Amino acid sequence: MTMVLHFLIQGRVQGVGFRWFVHREASELELKGWVRNTEDGDVEVVAAGDPADLADLRLSLQRGPRGSRVDRVIEHPLHDREGEGLSAFRIDGAW
């Protein structure tokens, strides 16, 4: 069963390698989706995969990489069809 979730991570999450951290964690879990910075200073993630793997990702998002400070993780389930166009996990907006 595949599940699709949207996460918004708030705190000190930009300029600390957060996107690369999420990319590594999600790739190891073989999730599909993307991560990107928002204009408001948050990090946004859409991930699709097995519910147990998404639960592992959630724990990683709450912890964050060294140097970050996660104040809040807002999570919303998305409809299954939102995951249909997703491919291997990637970083949006990276150079």
Q: How many CA within 13 A on the CB side of residue 64?
A: 22
End-to-end alpha carbon distance in the chain: 34
Told to judge if 66 belongs to the known catalytic residues of this protein, a careful annotator would answer: no
Given the residues 12, 19, 63, 69, the one annotated as active site: 19
In terms of Cα–Cα distance, which of 24, 16, 4, 83 is closest to 43? 16
Q: Please tell me which residue in 12, 36, 37, 81 is annotated as part of the active site.
A: 37
Active site residue 58: no
- Residues taking part in catalysis: 19, 37
